[in-house]
Amino acid sequence: MTQARRDEARSGMLFVAPYLLVFAALLVYPLLSGMWLSLHKADLFGGSQFIASENYSRLFHDAVFLRSVRNTVWFVAMTVPVLTVAGLVLALALNDRSRRSALLRGLFFCSSVLSVTIVTLIWRMVLVPDGGLIADLLARMGLSPIAFLSDPRLALPAIALTTIWWCIGLPMMLFIAALQQVPRDLYEAAALDNAGWWRTLLRITLPAIRRTAIVVVVIETILQFQLFGQAQILTLGGPNNASLPIVLFIYQVGFQRWDIGYAAAASEILFCIILLAALTQYFAARNPRRA
């Protein structure tokens, strides 16, 4: 390496150094220290003892943790496909310049800016059997109310519904942005090529917004694996852990039972699950021609 190149590399490092410092301090260090912590039996208020992989072997035999993993995977399976497909359908429906579409885009997006507390409060008013919106509607039809949040089969789907309502804005906006990037003359060429609406969607639109679809699925998977607030406020993970997600399990173990080594181990497993899911989707969806 010549002196000039070395100087250039050094000044380049100076430019990236501020970001690297923040990245290292707030991301790399906590990640590594979390990994290290997961190998200890540690109390939130002091006292830590190295126990190697014992936390992990305990986790794999912990019925509550395994339940929370199943719950979370089921929750992701319920929300991510719906968020992706509904986001796309809304984007296709509202991708024009009319005032009506602009208004509806705003309406669908505005739920996304609400805090989880407000969202869950709204949906509690919808879902509770005692005077809730759905219970009221059922009563008018002469049907008995459904206790969504205290029924073990319905608690998690109810949280999923709440989450979809809350999160639909982002996928919709990402898809609208992608749709607006598709050159108009492609659609005109397709029209001259006798392609109907459905075939144009399948052969022109979807391939054109493929990358955005991958981004939406990966982002939503990562987000929804971290389900916490909605479950904490709506059901506290109940009834009988039926809606307990991994993050709520981590929170309860770490900050209610103060067993932070064990909580750290659960966090690492969540980290690996999310990483694996995101990478699988990314590689599975990658276009082999452009690899």
In sign, the C-alpha dihedral spanning 38, 41, 44, 45 is negative
Residues in contact with 160: Cβ distance below 8 Å, sequence separation at least 6, in sequence order: 75, 78, 79, 82
Select 195 or 201, whichever has its Cβ closest to another protein.
195
In this complex, which beta carbon is closest to another protein, that of residue 56 or of residue 187?
Answer: 187
Q: Which residues bind another protein (CB under 8 A)?
A: 183, 185-186, 188-196, 199, 203-204, 207-208, 210, 287, 289
Q: 53-66 b/e with 16+ CB inside 10 Å = b?
A: ebbbebbeebeebe
Which of 163, 181, 133 is CA-nearest to residue 235? 163
Give least dist CB 103 to another protein, A.
21
Nearer to another protein, 96 or 188 (CB): 188
Task: Give the shortest CB-127-to-another protein separation in angstroms.
Answer: 43
Q: Residue for token digits 């509770």? A: 128
Buried/exposed code over 264-274 (b: 16+ C-beta within 10 A; e: otherwise)? bbbbbbbeebb
Judged by CB, which is closer to another protein: 10, or 100?
A: 100
Least distance to another protein from the beta carbon of 175, Å? 17
Q: What is the dihedral of CA 232, 234, 239, 242, to 10 degrees?
A: -70
Q: How far is the CB of 188 from another protein (least distance, A)?
A: 5
Which of 3-7's residues contact partners 24+ apart within 8 Å by CB, and which partners? none
Q: How far is the CB of 203 from another protein (least distance, A)?
A: 7
Pick 63 or 192: Cβ nearer another protein? 192
Q: Give min distance, CB of 74 to another protein, in A.
A: 34
Q: Which residue lies nearer to another protein by CB, 11 or 98?
A: 98
The upper half-sphere exposure of residue 193, i.e. CA atoms within 13 Å in the direction of its Cβ, equals: 12
**Cα 240 to Cα 261: distance, rounded to the nearest angstrom:** 24
